[in-house]
Amino acid sequence: MKNLWVEKTKYGRMGKRAAALLAVMIMVLNCGVISAWGCTGVYIGKDVSVDGSVILARSNDTQGVLPNYIDITERVENVPGRTLPVDLAKTVWADIPATTYRYTSTPFMDSAKVEKVFGRDVAAVSNEYGVIMTMSVTAFTNKKAMDADPWVENGISEDTATELVICQSKTAREAVKVLMALIDKYGSAETNIALIADQKEAWYVEMYNGHQYAAVKLPDDQVSVFGNEFSLEYLSDYDESITSKDLESLAKKNGFAEYGKNKELNLFDTYAGPSVKTDYAHRRTWIGHQLLSSKYSADYDLKDDYPLCFKPDKKVSLENVFSLMRNRYEGTRYAPDDTGRTDMRVIGTDTSMSVHVLQVYPELPTEMSCVTWECVGPAPYGVFVPISNAALSVSDSYAKNQPYSENGTFDDVNYPYYTFKEINTLCVEKATCKVYGAPVKAYWEKAEEGMVSGMGKVLSKAAKCEDKDEAAQILTDYCNKQQELAFADARHVLNDVRWYMSYNCNTMKNGRNPETDEVYDTLVEIDPLDLSKDKNLNVTAYGR
């Protein structure tokens, strides 16, 4: 744990990230395929979640080896004069209040900062006042809107905005306003989507270009799933909204405003539209709608539009969200694990840097109302572990921050990220996903079942404590134990996968007559990995 970081060292030019993002955008528009900034976002309203919590989820995706960990930043009381960087180059700094709030986060390790276009990026956060936030799902704006209000090179980005917002916001609504004030003052260096919630309400924010944005209060009885694309159409569809002052006038003045029902501005058609719609993003939006509502059972078509919010067929559990974040189009003709297709951008991708699911419980004491379920590395063959916003510490393993000097060192002995990254790398291919991946996935799902059940019991127990310190210790002990169990098991699982994969290694795939060694036409079928043979695994210990 540490106090809010304020070191003013140069890291690189923000222009590199903006240029890289622009190149990605051009690639999308030209061919519909990209290899970076491929996040997926999820919202589950409290009235339609099984346990009554608000749930936000996001995969933090891009190609590469970019390790992350779990961190706690402590409250700072009445220390004026501090700042945080606005841009990655650290050429612009924003003042922060004299008192800033305690929060958990899931940032990159220092060893990842050698990469050209990434900073700290706290990714998923929850603070002591019960505010949760994740940013960003990158989205794309049409050329006319970008020309009218271009990105600001030294403006805010996903790497900096979340920390600036969460350290000074007591409510979700305040967090939205802080984010918008930052855009008004400094401009935005990227095109992003943010999700923010507290015990009373949840908000969705679309950031279109240099200075234009729109935020809506999300309905409690609906859900959202979206790929890298904007979804807002009409603000009148939502009870409350907040927008940039020139959102409509800029579009009208520059001739790209599009109007629809009741002559109201259609935000999607105005700031995005068909020209930036891609299979890469839209197919993930489709599968999310299909999984949660039978209303969207039709086969995928890029021409179909999907609303930002919709009602699910039944209440959604935390485990349902974990499964959604692992989805690889199973049961459809797009499933790469069945078809071997290499052109399918799935939700549960092996290019995730991390995946996180955040909860906030309306009825719990504010200081213990939030739980972040963090999967360091890709989700398909990884596991989600809990960290409470009341936690006093993080487990030794998950708290380790690999130093800058160790960039390029793939250390699966000391850091959970690397262990889970390699498990996914070994299991994710079509040739390996069923023999090795399926047993690993099933094991982690069983572990998560125990952790989720146990977390509910521990939260109930902690909420009854009159002593807040005692409650915090109960939550800390539970979360840290689950984290350490997961890392210990991950090392054994990785060993088992490596061993069994090496045992089965044989480029001669055809079967042979055991007596004559005559080669058959049929291929050898390898039995799936049996993790039950490893007596070192701790699946029965989770949740205790």
Measured between alpha carbons, how far is 489 from 416 in angstroms, rounded to an integer? 10
> Quick one: pLDDT at residue 115?
58
429 in a structural domain: no
DSSP for residue 49 = B
- CA-nearest of 330, 360, 417 to 65 is 417
In this structure, what is the dihedral angle of CA atoms 328, 382, 56, 172, given to the nearest 10 degrees? -150
Q: What is the pLDDT of residues 135-174, one digit of tens each?
A: 989 999 999 999 999 999 999 999 999 999 999 999 999 9
314 in a structural domain: yes
Burial 138-160 (b: 16+ CB within 10 A, else e): bbbbbebbbebbebbbbbbbbbb
Measured between alpha carbons, how far is 382 from 427 in angstroms, rounded to an integer? 11
How many Cα atoms are found within 13 Å in the side-chain-facing hemisphere of 130?
19
- CA-nearest of 194, 198, 135, 132 to 171 is 198
Dig out the tokens for 20 from the structure: 């890289």
**209: helix, coil or strand?**
coil
Question: Own/partner pairs for 466-470, CB < 8 Å, 24+ apart?
Answer: 468/365, 468/367
Dig out the tokens for 261 from the structure: 């029902």
530 in a structural domain: no
**239: helix, coil or strand?**
coil
Give the chain's count of helices (H) and strands (E): 13, 18
Residue 222 amino acid letter: Q
CB atoms within 10 A of CB 20: 15
Residues ≥6 apart with Cβ < 8 Å to 489: 383, 443, 447, 537, 538, 539
Which CATH number covers residue 364? 3.60.60.10
313 in a structural domain: yes
291 in a structural domain: yes
Looking up tokens 């559990």, which residue turns up? Answer: 317
446 in a structural domain: no
Measured between alpha carbons, how far is 301 from 426 in angstroms, rounded to an integer? 32
- CA-nearest of 229, 18, 267, 305 to 145 is 267
Dig out the tokens for 219 from the structure: 């309905």
> Quick one: pLDDT at residue 512?
84
Measured between alpha carbons, how far is 502 from 356 in angstroms, rounded to an integer? 32
Measured between alpha carbons, how far is 153 from 19 in angstroms, rounded to an integer? 9
> Quick one: pLDDT at residue 521?
87
Contact 319, 449 (CB under 8 A): yes
- Stated as kind and residue range, the H or E segment containing 144 is helix 143-148
Distance of CA 128 to the CA centre of its chain: 21
Q: Compute the residue count for the chain.
A: 544
- Stated as kind and residue range, the H or E segment containing 271 is helix 267-271
Which portions of the chain are predicted below pLDDT 70? 1-37, 115-118
364 in a structural domain: yes
Alpha carbon of 91 to those of 14, 50, 94, 543: distances in Å? 9, 46, 10, 46
Phi, psi of 228 (to 5 degrees): -80, 70
263 in a structural domain: yes
Dig out the tokens for 444 from the structure: 């982690």
Measured between alpha carbons, how far is 173 from 218 in angstroms, rounded to an integer? 12
Q: What is 446-485 written as a DSSP string?
A: HHHHHHHHHHHHHHHHHHT-S-HHHHHHHHHHHHHHHHHH
Total structural domains within the chain: 1
**Range(s) of the domain holding residue 84:** 14-384
> Quick one: pLDDT at residue 66?
93
For residue 85, the cross-strand partners are 93
Measured between alpha carbons, how far is 243 from 254 in angstroms, rounded to an integer? 18
> Quick one: pLDDT at residue 29?
39
Measured between alpha carbons, how far is 162 from 146 in angstroms, rounded to an integer? 23
Burial label, 168 (beta-carbon count in 10 A; 0-12, 13-18, 19+): middle
Alpha carbon of 442 to those of 166, 269, 445: distances in Å? 35, 42, 5
Q: What is the pLDDT of residues 491-525, one digit of tens each?
A: 999 999 999 999 999 888 888 888 888 888 888 88
Measured between alpha carbons, how far is 307 from 80 in angstroms, rounded to an integer? 44
Measured between alpha carbons, how far is 505 from 32 in angstroms, rounded to an integer? 37
